[in-house]
Every structure is written in C-alpha cells, then in structure tokens.
C-alpha cells in the first residue's frame, strides 16, 4: 500500500479470542480455534462482498487486526488521517495526537497523548453512565486502569484537551451530523 500523504479510508476490524492462552488449552485447541477464526472471518468478508486478498492485516495468533478498503461518501466531510503504518507497526507514533471519545451522541471523554479526560463516568459495563460534576483526568502511562484522577495536580493538560473538543464542536457547526434513520442518498444542507 503506497503512502502518498493523503488519508486512506479503511474499515477497521479488531478480533480477539478470549482465553486463547488459557492453561487448559492445548496447542491442538489453539490451532483449531485459529483455523475457525480464519474460516469465520473469510466467510464474513465474502458475505459482505469484500475480497479477502484486498486488505492489510496483522495476525497475532489469538486475534486479528484488519484494515479493509471502504467506500467513502463524497457528499460530506469525512475526518480522515491515514493510520495504516501505525496500526501495522511500521510507524512508532500515531498521526493523531488526540480525539474526542463518544458513546452514541454523548461526549464521554477526550484523549490527548497519554492523557484522558472524562466528562461522563461509567465504572463497569452495566453501571449507569453519569455526568461528572468535575471532569476526571488520568495519565494513562502512570495509571492505565484509570483509578486515580490527577485533575488537581495536572490542570495544564486541560488546555490542549479542550482545544480538541472545541475544534470538534466547531466542525459540527460547519457540517452537522446526519440524523439517525436518514435515508440514502443523503443530501447535505446547502449541497456539496
């Protein structure tokens, strides 16, 4: 895949086999699971009309990371940064320093470098998500499990993180999100 400095739009598929390396799994079990994973993924790609050979993938034995080509709509702005080399381990650093973290239409957090700032907190999968009266800030290198907020001692991080949020909000004013259930083909306001 040639890198020309332009964004390459991809569908990203990440798969992981839970318990692949468990002590009670023999090598024979692992080979069978891996073969089954490949059979299922190839069948799914075939059903979706995506040729298996037309993608990049990284195989770690117990999981796969697949970058498949994607049809990109031309009638709207698409935020794109080519991350192919980073995802495939050919480049050490990401081409993006940060991004907003949405769940549905709610901004839960923002990630910047090794920092994450939460606005909505959900401790465990089935817990109620609740807005925080004060954001929680975590240094993910020092605290990868996000247990101890350092908001009081690292407030300098707020500025670059909030800039990411402000820039994203400004982009939504320029091009509002497409409402759920909007039929295709979509015609953006003002046309493109």
d(CA 21, CA 62): 8
- Give the whole-angstrom CA distance, residue 144 versus residue 98: 16
Q: What is the pLDDT of residue 84?
A: 74
Q: Which of 60-74, 79-93, 101-115 has the least mean pLDDT?
A: 60-74
The stretch 166-189 carries a mean pLDDT of 81
**SS3 category, 42:** helix
What pLDDT score was predicted for residue 2? 46
Interval 16-32: pLDDT, tens:
887 777 888 888 888 88
Whether the ω angle into residue 83 lies within 30 degrees of 0, i.e. cis, is no
Q: Which token pair is 165?
A: 């949020």
pTM: 0.61
Q: Indicate the class that CATH gives domain 98-174.
A: alpha beta
Report the candidate in 151, 131, 127, 130 with the shortest Cα–Cα distance to residue 139: 151
């Amino acid at each position: 895949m040639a890198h020309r400095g332009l964004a390459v739009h991809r569908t990203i598929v990440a798969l992981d086999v839970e318990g692949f390396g468990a002590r009670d799994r023999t090598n024979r079990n692992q080979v069978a699971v891996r073969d089954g994973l490949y059979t299922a993924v190839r069948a799914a790609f075939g059903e979706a009309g995506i040729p298996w050979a037309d993608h990049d993938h990284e195989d770690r034995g117990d999981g796969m990371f697949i970058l498949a080509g994607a049809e990109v709509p031309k009638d709207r702005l698409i935020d794109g940064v080519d991350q192919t080399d980073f995802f495939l381990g050919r480049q050490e650093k990401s081409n993006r320093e940060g991004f907003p973290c949405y769940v549905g239409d709610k901004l839960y957090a923002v990630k910047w470098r090794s920092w994450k700032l939460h606005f909505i907190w959900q401790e465990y999968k089935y817990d109620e998500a609740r807005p925080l009266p004060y954001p929680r800030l975590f240094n993910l290198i020092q605290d990868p499990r996000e247990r101890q907020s350092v908001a009081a001692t690292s407030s300098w991080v707020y500025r670059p993180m909030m800039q990411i949020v402000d820039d994203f909000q400004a982009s939504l004013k320029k091009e509002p999100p497409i409402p759920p259930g909007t039929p295709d083909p979509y015609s953006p306001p003002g046309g493109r």
